[in-house]
Homo-oligomer: A and B are copies of this chain.
Amino acid sequence: MRGRQQFSIHFLQYLDPEGNLDLPLPEWTTDGPLLLSIYQNMVLARLLDQKAVALQRTGQMGTYPSILGQEAISVCTGLAMAKNDVLVPYYRDAPAQMIRGMSAAELFMYWGGDERGGNLNTASLDLPICVPIATQLTQAAGVATALKIKGEDSVVVTSCGDGATSKGDFMEALNLAGVWDLPIVFVINNNRWAISVPLAQQTRAPTLAQKAIAAGIEGIQVDGNDPIAVYEVISKAIERAREHKTPTLIEALSYRLSDHTTADDASRYRDADELKAHWQEEPIHRFQQFLHQQGLWDREQEKALQSHCQQTIDQAVEQYLAAEEEPATAIIDYLHAFLPYSLESQRSAIQHKDASVNTEGESR
């Protein structure tokens, strides 16, 4: 006896790199303010990203992972989610986090080496970003399980990079989402590189979306630099998750136009021509062209937007640089809800050491 099971993976793109339409627009695109919001958030994201790099370069912040060229994915993620949904982001998702309430100052704080950057200064149940690759994904599955147990109608959106799909956690989370029918959307930012390792050295799978097949769930590939396609796919997946408690894996194809982080030098391992070619596909120019074509955007608006963003960012920088330092004991005060008595003497030692650092200067 022979039998056969068939599976397929679709790819979706509305706007080509020139901003021209490949397909008839989905219905929601009649919502002009939403289209503009996508654009405005992408521009803000890019300018903020530039500022973060500048802060690092001038010694005012630590190592930072730029999201240059991948703004569409994160912005559409943030805009497609409802307020009571839960975001479990990875470290190139600042735009989504900010749409959901994180301040730019908090972003700077986090990468400036200050834990308060993970507080998000809100009552949100979003998880903070996650440095150990892919570990957020099983946590996200746990969040989705909790929402389901609690009978809430909110959903989880979680994200990771292409490299992260090689780590077992990725598949474990996908598999659980399938078997427990979890209200969750996985978004892969496939920017083609994991530090110096190109996608072709991560996997032989021609798409990352097909990894969904292993878990028996829906997988789809989308042009991650086409905000229309990204928003369409993410919002539909969120809807499905909310209404039918079914998970989706989305592979958003993009490209890392920057170095991996400010500590990296991609010219060591990456072809200049490849980089140049991908600049032709980046999302902001493409979307601007489209909005122009649709008569939704002009130079005046652009100018106003730029200056508004600049102002927001300047304020954030100011706030960041002016922030008072946390007390020394903060390094132990948040370890447990209550300080175990056995740590009391260490807590005083920290205070004492801080005093001596303050009077003697950096004593190391």
Contact = CB atoms under 8 A, between A and B. Distances in A.
Nearest to A217: B204
Contact of A9 (B5, B22, B170): B5
A242 interface: no
A310 to B, nearest CB: 36
Contacts of A342: none
A171 B167 CA distance: 8
Given A204-B217, A210-B214, A6 B5 contact: no
A211 to B, nearest CB: 4
Contacts of A223: 1
A87 to B, nearest CB: 23
A359 to B, nearest CB: 43
A12 B172 CA distance: 28
A26 to B, nearest CB: 13
A5 B207 contact: yes
B167 A179 contact: no
Contacts of A167: 168, 172
Contacts of A239: none
B168 A5 contact: no
B6 A10 contact: no
A78 B181 CA distance: 39
Nearest to A209: B5
Nearest to A12: B2
Nearest to A13: B1
Interface residues of A, number: 45
A151 B216 CA distance: 37
A4 B211 CA distance: 15
B11 A8 contact: no
A202 interface: yes
Contacts of A202: 175, 179
Among A170, A181, A204, A206, the most chain B Cβ lie within 10 Å of the Cβ of A204
A180 to B, nearest CB: 9
Interface in A223-245: 223
A6 B207 CA distance: 11
Contacts of A11: 1-5
A178 interface: yes
A214 B179 contact: no
A354 interface: no
Contacts of A8: 4-7
A335 interface: no
Nearest to A213: B213
A203 interface: yes
A304 interface: no
9 contacts: A1-B23, A168-B171, A168-B172, A175-B203, A175-B204, A204-B216, A204-B217, A210-B216, A211-B213
